[in-house]
Amino acid sequence: MRAFNVAVAGATGAVGQTMIKVLEERNFPVKDIRLLASERSVGKKLKFKGEEIPVQKLDHDSFKGIDIALFSAGGDRSLTFAPSAAKAGAVVIDNSSAWRMDPDVPLVVPEVNAHAIAHYTNKGIIANPNCSTIQMVVVLKPLHTKAYIRRIVVSTYQAVSGTGQKAITELEGQVRAWAAGRPMENKVYPHRIAFNCLPHIDSFLENGYTKEEMKMVNETRKIMEIPNVQVCATTVRVPVFYSHSESVNVEFAGKITPEEARELLKNAPGVKVVDDPFNNVYPLAIDAAGQDLTYVGRIRKDLSCENGLVMWIVADNIRKGAATNAVQIAEILGEKYL
């Protein structure tokens, strides 16, 4: 694979900085890297392969000579600048929700539907899915291949890093205040997050679900290419810094035993089975943090339906749920299409 000129838009954010780190860790062939952010970050320096790279202002002229543009600058900025990047000849891999449901934009998890990358030529944009959706479909794909999935019920327990650095800082501050006996203040979330669970991620819609929940419904159907699958999601914010956890109930058209599921998942790309509950071994958020694998355990029969399984899925939302998935897409793009 040849070397590429790469831009990272939103480079100073948590996901942007992790994208830079993952590019280096995976030794992606970068010829030149351009770090882009808002005007207030211009001049700040970030390290890449031992070199300090100054941050430049993100604008419509930022992408001349760029082959691949990794976007983590938010939906509004993506809608504004991603078309300019594509027009300049770059292929955009966008981490926001802005392009995910566009029928002309592939929505890709490499372990699940890498073939969809070929359709990047429609608009020059590839969408990175929602973090919670990514880890779920990585596990469900090999099971779906064995026994067609009819219905999914998922409840998520999502880390505050999914909201960004301001939420991490708020949780830290609330814990310190509680330990010191001081009042706990909340600005990021409508209620305090320390020692609490909030069944509220993103805004509520008229149907009573949140945008986050409907993302999981719609994105799962598009990525797994099963538009008729029934999906019901409840998304909850919990006082954990990194890694999202999910309880997933799956109903299949045919029979699949927990033992068969474990064997399939042991050989599945990007998946690690951690499943020995009698010895207190199951996926934990603290173990997944900083890792790129998706962990699955507590695989058992769903007692409420004939062909059902229940499982517990955990992954780092900043890495596999965002930055690493984007770089994996870039790797396939570079190897097969550019």
Residue 101 CB-density burial (10 A; 0-12 exposed, 13-18 middle, 19+ buried): middle
Calpha distance 192→98 (Å, rounded): 29
Report how far residue 97's alpha carbon sits from residue 271's, in angstroms, rounded to the nearest whole number: 24
Task: Give the 3-state secondary structure of residue 202.
Answer: coil
CB 250 within 8 A of CB 152: yes
Q: Which residues of 15-33 are buried (b: 16+ CB within 10 A; e: fewer)?
A: bbbbbbbbbbeeebebeeb
Phi, psi values for residue 266, rounded to 5°? -65, -25
Q: Hey, CA dihedral for 266, 142, 118, 327, is it positive or negative?
A: negative
Strands 149-158 and 244-252: antiparallel
Q: Please name the amino acid found at residue 164.
A: G
Tokens coding 40: 């207030």
User: From CA 51, how far away is CA 45, in angstroms rounded?
Assistant: 9
Q: Catalogue the active-site residues.
A: 131, 244
Indicate the SS3 state at residue 281.
Answer: strand
Tokens representing 256 are 């699949």
Instruction: Compute the distance between CA of residue 195 and CA of residue 191 in angstroms, rounded to an integer.
Output: 11
